[in-house]
Structure 1
Amino acid sequence: MKFEVTILGSSSATPIFNRNPTAQVLNINERLYLVDCGEGTQQQMLRSEIKSSRIDHIFISHLHGDHYLGLIGLVSSLHLNGRVKPLKLYGPAPLMEIMELQFKYSDTKLNYPIEFRATDPSKAEVILDNHDITVETIPLDHRIATTGFLFKQKKRLRKVIKEKVEALHIPVEHYPALKRGEHFKTPDGKLHHNHELTIDSERPKCYAFCSDTIYNEQYFKQIEDVDLLYHEATFLHNMLDRANKTFHTTAWQAGQVALQVRAKALLIGHFSARYKNLNELLDEARNVFPNTELAIEGSTFEVGEDFV
């Protein structure tokens, strides 16, 4: 099952050096999920050939402008382009008030409904549960209420071994039972065990999006053994005092998080505008956690794949 992340924005605070504020699109089994929606997200979708009409779920981590100021434009464009199906929006409780104020003073009445679910920054909770995944909030520690998001694949049914079931002339209508783990008995009474006829599906994978946060071990337990961790790395560690003052994380600390939670791979992003060359941030994180990559815009990463 496809599970990949495309980076649309990786800058903190302001667009700079061809970097846009935070936004990512997850493709999970050909369903698209938008995580944060900074300024310029629509343009970045066009550049990455991502159809915004395919997005049915949008997750906003917090209400600093670099994480949601592109939202009203995207929602309005979907309206102008004739969307009628519901859009599910998840974010801090005041987000819907902000949206409704925009609609009020622009005299906009959307053609489609927004189904809003407020996130609770004080606790982890499942906010989405569908056929493919569950999504949990990750309580983070920033200057204002902030959550990350943990995307977990669900275990798929077993896979039928086509040549074996066909050789036994097993009826197609029995395949669902085989996929659920049941055995098969032929008309003459011979029992064929399920493990002879099917193989196990792939191990479910998970992706953790850790938006703006100071280094705080309170969220480590929840993201243990994650396949791919996105973690903010706003500053180099020589600016630790600045990171602490603004409730952000350094690249060295991001590497420490990945190491301690036993992540399989680490993506760092949310880079300060002071860094034109991002390689020094990458080197610092890799000194702690070698399997690290930069969240460069336009790049797509497969969850579960190593970088090095």
Structure 2
Amino acid sequence: MKLTILGCHSATPRDNARPTAQVLELRGHLFLIDCGEGTQMALRKNRIKFARIKHIFISHLHGDHVYGLIGLISTFCLLGRESDLTIYGPKGIKELILLQLRLAKVYTSFDLRFRESVENKETLLYEDDLLTIHTIPLDHRVFTHGFLFQEKPGDRKLDVAACESYGIDQAYYRKIKQGFDFVLDNGEVIPNVELTMDGDEPKSYAFCSDTVYKEDIVPQIQGVTALYHESTFLKSHAHLCDKTKHSTAEEAATIALKANVGTLYWDIIHPDMVTTICLKKRLKLFLRIVSLL
């Protein structure tokens, strides 16, 4: 799993900072999450191939999360893209994009699909043999949801010594790794747990964009490998959270702590920089520090 932060600056772009956009590489997929102004330039700067992006996830329709999308789609057209593109987002995303394409008389050279969410509740958006993607209900000034990317458990690890002790031919190894028991010639069944070990822990990533402090998301993101949670304000400006429907750095850290996440990413202090905190080593200390700011 690889996360590339293309931008995290709120509201307006700057010469050294772009609005929200991220690329998550997971199990051979390249997912674009939000698409603020200048996203395609950031993609080029990070040498990310446009053709690999087949799924785009938009958290909400505020400009700093979506205004780069029409430009990116237009570039896809100019480049002669042929592969399908699916856009996931709140109701209205289809109208927003198709209206701009129609008025500009732009016609896509590829199949452009939309999957709109109409209810702010946990919903399965995507699933294949390797992973699932669900929405995370959030609370902002407009309809908003985050996204939870989760790997499915992979194959178990083969205990070669155990297999050899039973004289099992290598031709059966793949089935055993997939979780099947093995039957010896005499009819004895060897349980899979005696022939394998636990595989790698499935990775997961939770993206929680603009939202007020919302503790009821904790069960859904419990134990995720990594969490991105917005943190527009420090505690000294916490009084602005209710009005703007944003969170403080302390609240983002509290969510991460309660959910026992592995790593927290959030935009704080320097709006053009994302700071990383390792939960198990430093998050409690950080939470004490930001509570004083």
Letter in 2 for 1:170: D
Runs of 4+ in 1 over 4 A off after TM superposition: 161-167, 186-193, 275-279, 285-288
Instruction: Choose 176-185 or 148-157, whichever is displaced more.
Output: 176-185
CA offsets 1:101-152 (integer angstroms, 9 cap, x no match): 1111111110111121002342111111112211111111100000000111
Partner of 1:298: none
Letter in 2 for 1:129: E
User: SS where residue 99 of structure 1 aligns?
Assistant: helix
Counterpart in 2 of 1:155? Answer: 153
Q: What SS does the corresponding residue of 1:220 show, helix, strand or coil?
A: helix
Residue 179 (structure 1) shift: 2.1
Q: Does the C-alpha gap of structure 1 residues 282 and 128 become closer, same or farther in structure 2, counting only changes over 3 Å?
A: closer
Q: Which residue identity does 2:214 align to in structure 1?
A: N
Paired residue for 1:268? 266
Residue 28 and residue 288 in structure 1: after superposition, are their counterparts in 2 closer, same or farther (change >3 A)? closer
Q: CA deviation at 1:13?
A: 0.4
Q: Is the 8 A contact 1:182 1:194 kept in 2?
A: yes
Is the Cα–Cα contact under 8 Å of residues 70 and 97 in structure 2 kept in the other structure? yes
Structure 1 residue 47: deviation in Å?
A: 1.4
Deviation at 1:225, TM superposition (A): 2.0
Counterpart position of 2:81: 83
Q: Which residue of 2 aligns with 1:29?
A: 27
- SS of 2:108's partner is coil
Tell me the equivalent position of 1:73.
71
Secondary structure at 1:254 match in 2: helix
Once the two structures are TM-superposed, the CA of residue 17 in structure 1 deviates from its matched residue by 5.8
Compute the RMSD of aligned alpha carbons.
Answer: 2.7
What residue number does 2:175 align with? 177
Match of 2:291 in 1: none
In 1, Cα distance between equivalents of 2:174 and 2:272:
53
CA distance in 1, matches of 2:113, 2:285: 41
Contact residue 258 and residue 289 of structure 1 kept, 8 A: no
The 3-state SS of whatever aligns with 1:84 is coil
Mapped to 2, the partners of 1:79 and 1:289 lie a distance apart of 48
Instruction: Determine if contact 2:120/2:144 at 8 Å carries over to the other structure.
Output: no
Q: 1:128 aligns with which of 126, 129, 152?
A: 126
Measured in 2, the distance between the counterparts of 1:124 and 1:82 equals: 36
1:148·1:209 contact (CA, 8 Å) conserved in 2? yes
Long gaps (5+) in structure 1: 293-308
* 1:226 to partner: Cα distance: 1.9
Specify which of 185, 197, 221 is matched with residue 219 of structure 2. Answer: 221
Moved more, 184-193 or 234-243: 184-193
Q: How many angstroms apart in 1 are the aligned matches of 2:284 and 2:17? A: 24
Q: Secondary structure at the match of 1:75?
A: helix
- Post-superposition shift, 1:48? 1.2
Deviation at 1:243?
A: 2.6
Alignment of 1:222-301 (within 5 A): 222-269=220-267, 275=270, 289-290=284-285
Return 34-43 or 159-168, whichever deviates more.
159-168
Equivalent residues of 1:141, 1:214 under 8 A apart: yes
Q: Percent identity of the aligned residues?
A: 40
Deviation at 1:259, TM superposition (A): 1.4
Helix, strand or coil at the partner of 2:73: helix
TM superposition shift of 1:40: 0.9
> What TM-score, normalized by structure 1, do the two folds share?
0.83
Q: Give the C-alpha shift of residue 46 in structure 1.
A: 1.2
CA contact (8 A) 2:156 2:178 kept: yes
Q: Which structure has the higher relative contact order (CA within 8 Å, separation 6+)?
A: 1
Q: Which residue of structure 2 aligns with residue 142 of structure 1?
A: 140
**For residue 108 of structure 2, what is the aligned residue in structure 1?**
110
8 Å CA contact retained: 2:8, 2:273: no
Distance of 2:190 and 2:109 partners within structure 1? 55
1:51 is displaced (CA, Å) by 0.7
Aligned partner of residue 96 in structure 1, secondary structure: helix
Give the Cα–Cα distance (whole angstroms) in 2 for the partners of residues 282 and 69 of structure 1: 27
Amino acid at match of 2:117: T
